[in-house]
Amino acid sequence: MKKRIGAICAALLLSLSLFGCGDSNYGDTKDTKRKFANNYSYRVKLSEEYAEKFNNLMVATGEASELMLVYMVGSNLESEAGLASLDIEEMQKSGFDNENIKILICTGGSNYWWNDDISADEVAVYEVNSGTDKITKLNVLQGDNMADPGTLTEFLDYAYDNYEANYYSLVLWNHGGGAVLGYGGDERYDFDTLSMTEMDEAFTTSHMISNGKKFEWVGFDACLMGMIEIAELFEPYSNYLIASEEVIPGDGWDYAFLNKISDGTDFSGATAGKEIIDTYADYYDSYIWYKPEYTLSCLDLSKTEDVMNNFNALISATENDLINGEYSNIARQRGNTKAFGIVDEELCYDTVDLYNLAENMSDSHLSEAGALQNSLNEMVVYEKSNVENANGVAVYFPYNNKLYAEEWVDEYSLTGFSETYMQFVRNFTETFYGAPLTAWELDGEDAVVEMASEEPDETVGGTSEYEVGNIGSMGSFSIQLTDEQAANFAGASLEIWEIYENYDNGGYGLWIDSSDVYLSDDNVLSSGILNKRIVLKDTSGNEADCCAREIERGDGYAVYKVPIIVSYMDENGDYDLDRYFIPYDVHIRIDEDNPNGVIIGIYPLEDEDTVSLLPKNSVVLEKGCYIEPFSYGRIIEFNDDGTVKPFDEWEMFSGLFYGFNLDGDLVVDMVDIDPNVEKVYFYNIWDTQGNNYQINVIQ
């Protein structure tokens, strides 16, 4: 288990998972730190402090062909599960050649370290020795907050001043939140993080960079840092960048790659990138508990300028479209682009694959999009992924996460990234948050909602491509949109709620929502009515009902979120009160290879008092723990004439399905539903401005 992602306050998701769907009470956000990289007086002060500090450092010297530095912000990853200590052990056991490569780690940022040689009360530098279970302490840094750029600079300077090498490389280990939210989370300082401007500051003021040298490669063993913004940031400081577009799976990098890159034959960043990526992919391809999604790419930073020139050209052309009233078309291009870091059906990190974005914009600007794609192909020297439309480089593009977009755009404006793009983002979000472009009252005769049939219909909308895996159709559901509505339509999902026998007073529970919909040329929105539902099981035959909410859909696949509550047992078989009633989301992928579904991750939702940045970390549930799927429930409300009131007027009645003690591995399956069970249906429609509308409940 490893690599949790920091970004969205835990109260945000807890409100979604524990209090039902469609609610808007997400809680307050926390301000993120803002510092400016070009503060001259601050830099002068840092330089004066370092001159004094280095007179008091303990000095160790070394020489190697390569010096690999690891800035290991332990954070809650270490204090809760010892994940940093496990990686140190992984390095020790990798069999790397200690004569060819030396490894220095800088530890701190955690309230507790599982490695007995490391103190939580200091930021210290250690050398990792191959084939031993000990690390050698070299120095205690003056800096104490690992999210302070001065602390990172102090580590870089100590290593450069005391170790000679032909090649220098750096791994930045911990949380990652992309260009907006930065890197790391020091647990001892309220999960403070390094912003892009602070990372820039840390490198600019370092001795190595001041002497005109570069790292051969910089890698992020952290989520969501494989972005063009990060590439541009590191271009002056490194030849190559190794990072992931997507969230890093549970176990992070596999440090077995050290054996191969230390053989003394080739220390180049391109070679290191290939070995790191191959080892990483092989590890997760053989993962035994579930099938996590992964991406990892190696970028040649000498190609950054070409990519940026072509990116700005495409954005300039798209900006003209925006000025000329093409907002909704641009929004749909963005909405159809592969997104990463999807936390929930309504919340994500708003980073998207840049190549895929250009591909979607090619209908409007073929020449500019093609030039950008070609330059990206030159930049990405090697990548591996089991995720569709992940091509190695992402970019921040606010759209899905409307709750945070305004705040995050303000943060983004401080990064110093392309002013051409910043102007576009500002103009785009101005319309995004503006007055609705169309009305969605669908009560007139032009807005007929109808149940076409309750018999299987393979031709809804003129295609059966909406069927994913083994979720079939037992009928159809459609609604007529106006021309104006269709012009500003972004997507929709059909929610199906069934009466639940354990609810009193007409209680209904959600069993699935799916954006498996089709908008025809004559503006009829149609969806098949699914005749399968997802259940959770274990390999011993235990089974529980659950509800599934779609959080992502692509060409031939869909990803669903199933909320569960887990309680762990102690050695006596009683509930462990320290680990009782813990919420998780199980992410399930359905595709051609997995028609009954496959688990791709189990993610804890943590208390905001524990961590100010929401971690997204996959876990493996312990045998014997008690699993209770969470049920989104409502009490149906009727008007005086017997018609059903709008869904948002129903009384909330969420609870838990019956659960089971996990005996074996947790798996997922599909079961038939009873077509005679009483159900209600309605569409959630969202427009290109991110506004959501619940349309016409049908009983």
**Phi and psi at residue 95, to the nearest 5°:** 80, 30
Q: What is the pLDDT of residue 224?
A: 94
pLDDT of residue 295: 97
Torsion, Cα 12 13 18 19, to 10 degrees, reads 50
Please state whether beta strands 548-554 and 507-514 pair in parallel, antiparallel, or not at all (unpaired): parallel
With respect to CATH, is domain 38-299 assigned 3.40.50.11970?
A: yes
Residue 697: predicted pLDDT: 65
Give, as one character, the DSSP assignment of residue 574: S
Rg (CA), the chain: 26
Q: At 533, is the secondary structure helix, strand, or coil? A: strand
> How many Cα atoms within 13 Å fall on the side-chain side of residue 603?
30
- 35 DSSP assignment: -
In 314-358, beta strands by DSSP E: 339-342, 348-353
User: The tokens of 423 are what?
Assistant: 């102007």
CA dist 684 and 518 (Å) reads 14
Neighbours of 470 (CB within 10 A): 14
- Domain residue ranges in the chain: 38-299, 449-698
Rounded (to 5) percent helix, strand, coil in the chain: 30, 30, 40
For 474-508, b where at least 16 C-beta lie within 10 A, e where not — what string? bbbbbbbbeeebbebbbbbbbbbbbebeebeebbb
What is the model's pLDDT at position 29? Answer: 24
- The three-state DSSP-derived secondary structure of 446-496 is CCCEEEEECCCCCCHHHCCCCCCCCCCEEEEEEEECCHHHHHCEEEEEEEE
pLDDT along the chain (699 residues), means of 10: 32 28 26 25 39 40 82 92 92 93 97 95 96 93 96 98 95 94 93 95 96 96 96 98 92 94 89 97 90 95 98 98 96 96 80 98 97 98 96 96 90 95 97 90 47 42 35 64 92 84 70 86 83 88 92 89 92 86 92 91 65 56 91 81 73 85 92 79 88 73
Spatial neighbors of 36 by CB under 8 A, at least 6 apart, are 197, 414
3-class secondary-structure state, position 182: coil
Kindly state the DSSP code that residue 624 receives in the 8-state scheme.
T
Helix and strand numbers (H, E) in the chain are: 18, 34
